[in-house]
């Protein structure tokens, strides 16, 4: 099977050194395996995504010496695909509509009978306020939709190659219920949530290797579980170290000083960037 990987930035700001590291690693691993490197725009969040940032990202990556096939897949054009997956999960009684605000969730999770509020990959674990006793039915509502984890969870496993030696990670259904909970799969303003979008995109692009920062490691169990629920293949995962500043702080998009565009304007070369990143 041909090695296929992708770099999937959200075009909500400039690329910084951390993105450059991730993109170059994925590109270099694909090249070493005689495989394919794809670029994908994670532009589900239309309130924050800008075509100018998408154009700048392509320009920066080209400057770094990276190349990829066209056209570039854009999540904003895939709402029909996402909706049909939501319809499937809804028809199987695995989703429920949720009207809780963040404040509602904070208040419910902090209620005395709940014990200590637990955090999962998406923040506070949903306390179950809107979760129905019997599976929801009828037409798919235009609402925030959560996965009913107690009904959906299964034991899962995936291969992680970002550590040496590579290992298989097993996660039980009980762990998913307890430590992940009812994750959001559809947002009212965006259609799919990040988790659903990324799983469907990776499957449709036949991605065999997901190479991304270790900040997304905790999200991977959600993705693998969704793959199992939707009968999609599970790629190999490679979570790499994060690039930090000299104080050990993770680089953020708004950290313009680390934007590739800033280094370019200062006259640095792509080789300088590779040297800076030790890659
Ligand atoms: N769009 C995500 C980000 O910029 C990455 C998604 C992924 O690699 O799965 O953090």
Q: Which of 42, 54, 211, 240 to mutate to test the pocket of ligand 1 (most atoms within 8 A of CB)?
A: 42
What pLDDT is recorded for position 251?
67
- The verdict on the CB of residue 42 being under 6 Å from ligand 1 is yes
- The verdict on the CB of residue 39 being under 6 Å from ligand 1 is no
Distance CA 172, CA 195 (A): 19
Residues 6 or more apart from 38 whose CB is under 8 A from it? 4, 5, 6, 7, 68, 69, 72, 73, 205, 207
- The verdict on the CB of residue 9 being under 6 Å from ligand 1 is yes
Domain 1-77+244-279, CATH number (from 3.30.9.10, 3.40.50.2300, 3.40.50.970, 3.40.50.620): 3.40.50.620
Q: What is the residue extent of each domain of the chain?
A: 1-77+244-279, 79-204+222-231
What pLDDT is recorded for position 279?
74
Phi/psi for 140 (5° steps) reads -60, 120
What pLDDT is recorded for position 250?
74
CATH code assigned to 79-204+222-231 = 3.40.50.620
What pLDDT is recorded for position 253?
57
What pLDDT is recorded for position 248?
75
Q: Which of 11, 26, 193, 194 to mutate to test the pocket of ligand 1 (most atoms within 8 A of CB)?
A: 194
Which residues of the chain register pLDDT less than 50? Answer: none
Same fold, 1-77+244-279 and 79-204+222-231: yes
Q: Reply yes or no: is the peptide bond before residue 265 cis, omega within 30 of 0.
A: no
Q: How far is the CA of 114 from the centre of ligand 1 (A)?
A: 32
pTM of the model: 0.95
Q: Which of 7, 9, 235 to mutate to test the pocket of ligand 1 (most atoms within 8 A of CB)?
A: 9
Q: How far is the CA of 112 from the centre of ligand 1 (A)?
A: 36
What pLDDT is recorded for position 207?
98
- The verdict on the CB of residue 216 being under 6 Å from ligand 1 is yes
């Amino acid at each position: 099977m041909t090695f296929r990987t992708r770099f999937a930035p959200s075009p909500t700001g400039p690329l910084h050194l951390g993105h450059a590291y991730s993109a170059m690693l994925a590109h270099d691993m694909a090249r070493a395996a005689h495989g394919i490197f794809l670029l994908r725009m994670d532009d589900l969040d239309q309130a924050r995504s800008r075509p100018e940032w998408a154009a700048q990202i392509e320009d920066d990556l080209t400057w770094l010496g990276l190349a990829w096939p066209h056209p570039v897949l854009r999540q904003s054009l895939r709402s029909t695909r996402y909706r049909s997956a939501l319809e499937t999960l809804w028809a199987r009684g695995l989703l429920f509509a949720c009207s809780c605000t963040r404040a509602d969730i904070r208040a419910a999770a902090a209620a005395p009978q709940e014990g200590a509020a637990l955090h999962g990959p998406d923040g506070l674990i949903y306390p179950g306020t809107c979760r129905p006793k019997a599976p929801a039915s009828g037409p798919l509502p235009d609402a925030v939709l959560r996965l009913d984890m107690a009904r959906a969870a299964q034991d899962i496993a995936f291969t992680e190659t970002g550590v040496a030696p590579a290992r298989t990670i097993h996660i039980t259904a009980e762990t998913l219920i307890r430590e992940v909970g009812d994750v959001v799969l559809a947002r009212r303003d965006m259609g799919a949530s990040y988790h659903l979008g990324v799983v469907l995109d990776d499957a449709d692009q036949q991605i065999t290797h997901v190479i991304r920062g270790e900040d997304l490691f905790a999200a991977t169990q959600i993705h693998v579980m969704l793959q199992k629920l939707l009968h999609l293949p599970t790629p190999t995962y490679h979570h790499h170290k994060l690039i930090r500043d000299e104080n050990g702080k993770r680089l953020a998009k708004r950290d313009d000083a680390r934007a590739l565009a800033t280094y370019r304007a200062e006259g640095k070369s792509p080789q300088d960037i590779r040297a800076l990143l030790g890659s």
